[in-house]
């Protein structure tokens, strides 16, 4: 039993943003009111003993519905040296995420129901964030045959994606969008034309030219975004565009929404906060796919967030071992480890600067993801499950390899001090993180 007092509760579903007390009983939100008295709380909780109630002073802090990250790579099965479902879901909880969607580019690829169930069960065993599997679109990511979408949905998949690779064959994507209508789940498209991307390692432009690194033109993404929204329009399928990173992609998605195509889109914090100018020859933590955008692209992404063209934030958490990243830039793998730094990065880089409101953060990172993927959560209201985050905008922390729950440390923020962190995370009413530490179960 839990009583959080005087906390700044932000819940866009109810249009609520103000100081409230929140009471939780048996994992369910039982009361939300201003300045509750002890006898009221005891009445709601049906107990006479105040000692049984954990009381938390929330003044100066925010209470958000638990963040939902629709794009994480947990690397299990097969690449447990980088991350596993346990370490990744612990990192999620430490970062304020109560639900995460695990991408299918593991080894083997998640292309059968048994594998979907494995991911789900491993998530339950870890007992941290809720882990929802994303299933592959095509068997073995080969882009040739569809997976058994209905069976996989029944096994727990909440979306389909060959993320990590773009589906090169347009007819394959058309068929996927058409067939997936049976499931009601969106296809998540990793938009990347392999021929245009070539062997590029960063965004093509003056910075790639300066560093002598092969460039990936913005068109490598945008041409496939255009293709996929057209196919979604034609088939009436549901498409979700992963990690939008170019101005042209934003323009295309905006136009597609205007003509009623069922498209949603996510953007990664690193694309909003870093640009190709931040890339250095030895900074492999800045190597990510899609690559860090130009300044102009970044402005378009922020505009897309502001006007609702982009529906959600997502980390694209992509852990890699230290050895894999300790290489010359072109040889290191793509990916940024993000679950434990993303909220702080967005807070200090966008909210503090007035580019995003706390209400928008909750909408973009909790409510909208829950709605698009049909998940529990995304709101704090009486009767809903208590997936919540207590966020302290003043909390400062130095990002170090030792402090991270993730197995990997490939974050551009390593060694930097950040401000604004979750200090408590509850999943289903259970406190799993307190004062930046995971609470291990007995």
Partner 1 sequence: MKWKRKDLLDLENLTAEEIKHILHTAIPMKEILGRPIKKLPTLRGKSVVLLFYESSTRTRTSFENAAKILGADTTNFSVAQSSVNKGESLLDTAKTLQAMNVDLVIVRHSSSGSAEFLADILNAGVINGGDGQHAHPTQALLDYFTIQDHLGGFEGKKVVIVGDILHSRVARSNVVGLKKLGAEVTLVGPPTLLPPEMKYLGVKISHHLDQELPGADAVMALRLQLERQQSGLFPSIREYSKLYGLNKERIKLTGKDTIVMHPGPMNRGVEIASDLADSVQSVIEEQVTNGVAVRMALIYLLIGGGTVNVVD
Q: Segment contacting partner 1 (CB under 8 A): 201-209, 218-226, 312-320, 364-372?
A: 201-209
Identified catalytic residue from 69, 84, 297, 316: 316
Shortest separation between residue 35's beta carbon and partner 1, angstroms = 57
Shortest separation between residue 248's beta carbon and partner 1, angstroms = 17
- In the list 132, 160, 179, 329, the residue contacting partner 1 (rule: CB under 8 A) is 329
- In the list 28, 146, 211, 431, the residue contacting partner 1 (rule: CB under 8 A) is 211
Shortest separation between residue 27's beta carbon and partner 1, angstroms = 48
H/E/C letters for each residue in the chain? Answer: CEEEEEEEEEEHHHCEEEEEEEEEECCEEEEEECCCCHHHHHHHHCCCCHHHCEEEECCCCEEEECEEEEEECCCCCCCCCCCCHHHHHHHHHHCCEEEEEECCCCCCCCCCHHHHHHHHHHHHHHCCCEEEECECCEHHHCCCCECCHHHHHHCCCCCECCCCCCCCCHHHHHHHHHHHHHCCCCEEECCCCHHHHCCCCEECCHHHHHHCCCEECCHHHHHHHHHHHHHHHHHCCCEEECCCCCHHHHHHHHHHHHCCCCEEEEECHHHHHCCHHHCCCCCHHHCCCCCCCCHHHHHHHHHHHHCCCCCEECCCECCCCHHHHCCCHHHCCCCECCCCCHHHHHHHHHHCCCCCCHHHHHHHHHHHHHHHHCCCCCCCCCCCECCEEEEEEEEEEECCCCCCCCCCCCCCCCCCEEEEEEEEEEECCEEEEECCEECCCC
Q: Using the minimum distance from each CB to partner 1, give the nearer residue, 88 or 200.
A: 200
With binding defined as CB under 8 A, does residue 210 bind partner 1? Answer: yes
Backbone angles phi, psi at 366, to 5 degrees: -140, -60
Q: Using the minimum distance from each CB to partner 1, give the nearer residue, 53 or 213.
A: 213
Give the x-and-dash track for 257-296 against partner 1 (CB under 8 A): -----------------------xxx--------------
Q: Using the minimum distance from each CB to partner 1, give the nearer residue, 43 or 330.
A: 330
With binding defined as CB under 8 A, does residue 213 bind partner 1? Answer: yes
Tell me if the bond preceding 83 is cis, omega within 30° of 0.
no
- In the list 12, 96, 205, 369, the residue contacting partner 1 (rule: CB under 8 A) is 205
Shortest separation between residue 216's beta carbon and partner 1, angstroms = 12
Establish whether 387 is a catalytic residue. Answer: no
With binding defined as CB under 8 A, does residue 398 bind partner 1? Answer: no
- In the list 182, 326, 394, 398, the residue contacting partner 1 (rule: CB under 8 A) is 326
Shortest separation between residue 342's beta carbon and partner 1, angstroms = 27
Q: Using the minimum distance from each CB to partner 1, give the nearer residue, 99 or 245.
A: 245
Q: Using the minimum distance from each CB to partner 1, give the nearer residue, 11 or 207.
A: 207
Backbone angles phi, psi at 52, to 5 degrees: -75, -10
Q: Which of residues 89-128 bind partner 1 (CB under 8 A)?
A: none
Shortest separation between residue 280's beta carbon and partner 1, angstroms = 8
With binding defined as CB under 8 A, does residue 366 bind partner 1? Answer: no
Tokens 């190597």 identify what position? 287
A 10 A CB-CB count for 117 gives 16
With binding defined as CB under 8 A, does residue 214 bind partner 1? Answer: yes
- Residues 202/211, Cβ–Cβ less than 8 Å: yes
Q: Segment contacting partner 1 (CB under 8 A): 164-172, 174-182, 221-229, 320-328?
A: 320-328
With binding defined as CB under 8 A, does residue 212 bind partner 1? Answer: yes
- In the list 46, 236, 308, 328, the residue contacting partner 1 (rule: CB under 8 A) is 328
Q: Segment contacting partner 1 (CB under 8 A): 73-81, 180-188, 202-210, 431-439?
A: 202-210
Site size toward partner 1, by CB under 8 A? 22
User: Catalytic residue numbers?
Assistant: 316
Q: Which residues bind partner 1 (CB under 8 A)?
A: 204-215, 280-282, 323, 326-331
């Amino acid at each position: 039993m839990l009583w959080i007092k005087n906390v700044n509760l932000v819940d866009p579903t109810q249009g609520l943003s103000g100081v409230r007390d929140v009471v939780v009983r048996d994992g369910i939100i039982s009361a939300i009111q201003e300045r509750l008295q002890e006898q009221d709380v005891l009445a709601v909780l049906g107990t006479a003993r105040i000692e049984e109630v954990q009381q938390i002073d929330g003044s100066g802090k925010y209470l958000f519905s638990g963040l939902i990250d629709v794009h994480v790579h947990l690397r299990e099965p097969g690449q447990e040296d980088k991350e596993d479902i346990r370490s990744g879901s612990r990192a999620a909880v430490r970062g304020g995420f109560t639900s995460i969607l695990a991408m299918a580019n593991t080894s083997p690829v998640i292309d059968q129901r048994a594998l979907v169930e494995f991911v789900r069960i491993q998530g339950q065993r870890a007992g941290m964030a809720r882990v929802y599997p994303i299933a592959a679109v095509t068997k073995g990511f080969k882009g040739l045959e569809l997976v058994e979408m209905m069976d996989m949905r029944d096994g727990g998949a909440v979306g389909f994606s060959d993320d990590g690779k773009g589906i090169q064959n347009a007819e394959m994507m058309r068929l996927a969008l058409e067939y997936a209508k049976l499931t009601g789940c969106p296809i998540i498209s990793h938009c990347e034309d392999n021929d245009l991307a070539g062997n590029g390692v960063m965004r093509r432009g003056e910075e790639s030219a300066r560093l002598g690194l092969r460039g990936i033109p913005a068109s490598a993404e945008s041409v496939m975004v255009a293709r996929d929204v057209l196919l979604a329009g034609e088939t009436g399928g549901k498409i979700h565009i992963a990690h939008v990173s170019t101005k042209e992609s934003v323009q295309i998605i905006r136009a597609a929404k205007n003509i009623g195509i069922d498209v949603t889109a996510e953007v990664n914090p690193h694309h909003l906060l870093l640009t190709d100018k931040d890339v250095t020859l030895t900074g492999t933590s800045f190597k990510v796919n899609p690559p860090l955008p130009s300044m102009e692209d970044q402005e378009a992404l922020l505009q897309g967030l502001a006007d609702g063209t982009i529906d959600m934030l997502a980390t694209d958490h992509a852990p890699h071992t230290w050895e894999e990243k300790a290489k010359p830039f072109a040889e290191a793998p793509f990916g940024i480890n993000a679950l434990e730094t993303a909220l702080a990065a967005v807070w200090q880089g966008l909210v503090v600067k007035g580019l995003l409101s706390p209400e928008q953060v909750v909408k973009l990172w909790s409510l909208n993801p829950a709605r698009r993927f049909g998940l529990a959560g995304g709101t704090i209201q009486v009767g809903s499950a208590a997936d919540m985050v207590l966020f302290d905008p003043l909390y400062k922390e130095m990002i170090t390899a030792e402090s991270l729950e993730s197995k990997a440390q490939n974050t551009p923020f390593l060694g930097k001090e950040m401000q604004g962190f979750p200090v408590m995370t509850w999943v289903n009413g259970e406190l799993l993180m307190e004062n930046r530490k995971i609470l291990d179960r007995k």
